């Protein structure tokens, strides 16, 4: 890997990625229902502050504030024609902050889901989805993003559309799916299936993995389900389990818990480790200290994960059921 991400991985063996953009922007006054990406234009100082907080916490990689800067999502705010510009701005602000640093930092252009369901279940055609992502990708590229970061995806077709867009924009990419329903994505994909799909792709990622989902325990179990494709694995878990209180979703994971999570993620095979919802610079600082201070260990057992991070949200992550499918398929073949 000739890129910055590959360079840092080669030097350090792991990469600290950033935390939750949403959580931090809400703390800065963003109202629920507002599009965070509009702040690239209206509140650039706050976006700089967001990026700066990740840099100061020691992150080697952070995402641009462009998760929803695609025309499908911006349409909800009557800003669908601003997709290219807002994406570009999100990367420009990040590039400027990185320019103030001596060390190498990766600027990853975030691309979240369109929020629409693809045909035949939904209305969005694959071709249109590619175009939606392509405009966003070109904006991120123009603004100076090093790579694209396709995240929180639950549907493989949507992932493929975003990858086609990355290819059209001639950008390298990383991708994470969100495994939130008994170890599967909302559309039923398991960690093993995701690995299998990645292994069959022509335009391979620089790294792939899991983000968001339920809590950090579930996320570590998901990591254990990935196949070894000789690609770096990404872990971006939530800081605790989402709890609804006072009209808001809160995450109760302490910085200490996330420090344990970071080391367990590395032991479970992750090379790029960050947080998702609820993860603040305080969490990231302790995560970095823990990763620097502790030696990598062998893969954790499920019992160890539960002991250190708390209970899992489901008994199975679906991968054991897939293992059962194997012999049955073979039998059928033999009968033919």
Q: Is the dihedral of CA 71, 75, 77, 78 positive or negative?
A: positive
Candidate ranges 130-138, 162-170, 224-232, 271-279; the one touching Zn ion (CB under 5 A): 271-279
Name the minimum Å distance from CB 191 to Zn ion. Answer: 17
Q: For Zn ion, which residue of 212, 263, 273, 312 counts as binding (CB under 5 A)?
A: 212
The 60-89 contact track toward Zn ion, x by CB under 5 A, reads ------------------------------
Q: Which residues inside 277-306 make contact with Zn ion, applying CB under 5 A? A: 277
Candidate ranges 115-123, 158-166, 273-281, 290-298; the one touching Zn ion (CB under 5 A): 273-281
List the one residue out of 295, 293, 223, 231 whose CA is nearest residue 6.
231
CA–CA distance, 333 with 16 (Å, rounded to integer): 46
Separation in Å, CA 196 to CA 69, 154, 246, 267: 29, 15, 42, 22
Q: For Zn ion, which residue of 276, 290, 291, 312 counts as binding (CB under 5 A)?
A: 276
Cβ-based nearer residue to Zn ion, 189 or 214: 214
Candidate ranges 64-72, 100-108, 198-206, 209-217; the one touching Zn ion (CB under 5 A): 209-217
Separation in Å, CA 12 to CA 81, 237, 309: 41, 21, 25
Which helix (H) or strand (E) is 295 found in, with range?
Answer: none
**270 in contact with Zn ion (CB under 5 A):** no
CA–CA distance, 317 with 181 (Å, rounded to integer): 8
Cβ-based nearer residue to Zn ion, 4 or 152: 152
DSSP-derived 3-state class of residue 118: strand
Cβ-based nearer residue to Zn ion, 143 or 175: 175
CB 55 within 8 A of CB 18: no
Cβ-based nearer residue to Zn ion, 151 or 172: 151
* Other Cβ atoms closer than 10 A to 240: 24
Binding site for Zn ion (CB under 5 A): 212, 276-277
């Amino acid at each position: 890997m000739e890129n910055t991400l590959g360079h840092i991985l080669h030097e350090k063996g792991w990469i600290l990625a950033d935390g939750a953009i949403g959580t931090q922007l809400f703390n800065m006054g963003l109202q629920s229902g507002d599009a965070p990406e509009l702040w690239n234009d209206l509140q650039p100082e706050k976006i700089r502050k967001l990026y700066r907080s990740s840099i100061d916490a020691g992150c080697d990689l952070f995402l641009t504030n462009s998760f929803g800067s695609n025309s499908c999502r911006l349409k909800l705010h009557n800003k669908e024609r601003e997709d290219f510009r807002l994406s570009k701005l999100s990367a420009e602000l990040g590039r400027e902050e990185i320019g103030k640093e001596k060390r190498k930092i990766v600027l990853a252009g975030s691309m979240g889901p369109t929020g629409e369901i693809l045909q035949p279940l939904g209305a969005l055609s694959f071709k249109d989805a590619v175009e939606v992502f392509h405009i966003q990708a070109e904006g991120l590229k123009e603004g100076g993003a090093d790579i694209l970061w396709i995240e929180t995806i639950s549907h493989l077709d949507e992932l493929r559309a975003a990858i086609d867009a990355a290819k059209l924009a001639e950008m390298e990419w990383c991708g994470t799916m969100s495994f939130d329903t008994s170890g599967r994505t909302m559309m039923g994909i398991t960690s093993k299936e995701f690995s299998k799909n990645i292994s069959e792709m022509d335009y391979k990622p620089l790294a792939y993995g899991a983000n968001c989902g339920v809590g950090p325990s579930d996320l570590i179990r998901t990591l254990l389900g990935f196949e070894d494709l000789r690609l770096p694995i990404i872990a971006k878990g939530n800081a605790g389990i989402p709890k609804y209180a006072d009209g808001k979703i809160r995450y109760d994971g302490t910085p200490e818990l996330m420090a344990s999570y970071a080391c367990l993620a590395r032991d479970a095979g992750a090379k790029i480790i960050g947080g998702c919802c609820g993860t603040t610079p305080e969490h990231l600082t302790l995560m970095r200290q823990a990763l620097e201070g502790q030696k990598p260990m062998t893969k954790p057992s499920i019992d160890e994960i539960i002991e250190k991070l708390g209970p899992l949200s489901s008994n199975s992550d679906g991968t054991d059921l897939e293992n059962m499918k194997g012999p049955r398929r073979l039998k059928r073949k033999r009968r033919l």
